[in-house]
Amino acid sequence: MTESADRVALVAALGASRVIEINNRFPSQRINADYSGTEWFSRDHLDFAATGYPGFSDYTVLEGKPAKKGGGAPGAVAIHLAFQATDNSLWIEHFVSDETDQNVGNVASKLLESITHVARVINDDPDKFDLSPALEAYLHLLTNSLSSSLGNNKKLEIKHHLFAVGQRLGL
């Protein structure tokens, strides 16, 4: 549905039982270094049934716009992980590398810095995040000081997000 579509008319024409609302709730920033702390993400997994919709959808931890092709090395590397808050809503915590200068370090070292922050939070609060296969993969990278890429980071973020939402839905 485009922004100019009449949502009410569309739902009336199709019926709520045939509509799934799609919301891009990821709070994207201009650059990775701008991410910080935790941000509310969604209650859609809790509320969709009350709307009469048969399901819901989200963009996971992806920006609504496609990534730009090209560009140079990132100044910072960020990891975005979903977790459930005490009210059962989903939040995203952002873990940013210490190094934010594009001309210092490389993707692999910056990713390990970000994972170090993830590991610290897990150590302090072991129940905060669902122990997804993706989270285990991050910790394996850190424990073994393995090199990885931005593409693998994005894959792991998405896998963790889908796992966390699936857990909320009992899947």
Side-chain-side CA neighbours of residue 20 (13 Å): 7
Question: In this model, does residue 5 exceed pLDDT 80?
Answer: no
pLDDT band at 41 (very low <50, low <70, confident <90, very high): very high
**How do residues 47-105 score in pLDDT, each as one tens digit?**
888 888 888 887 787 776 666 666 678 999 999 999 999 999 999 999 999 999 999 99
Name the H helices within the chain: 7-14, 44-47, 107-124, 133-143, 150-168
At residue 146, what is the residue type?
A: L
Closest CA to 62 of 44, 47, 77, 80: 80
In a domain, 94, yes or no: yes
pLDDT at 3: 57
**How do residues 99-143 score in pLDDT, each as one tens digit?**
999 999 999 999 999 999 999 999 999 999 999 999 999 999 999
pLDDT at 4: 60
pTM, rounded to two decimals: 0.88
In a domain, 122, yes or no: yes
Which range marks the domain in which residue 144 is found? 11-168
In a domain, 52, yes or no: yes
pLDDT at 1: 45
In a domain, 136, yes or no: yes
In a domain, 26, yes or no: yes
In a domain, 1, yes or no: no
Overall domain count for the chain: 1
Tokens at residue 11, please?
């739902």
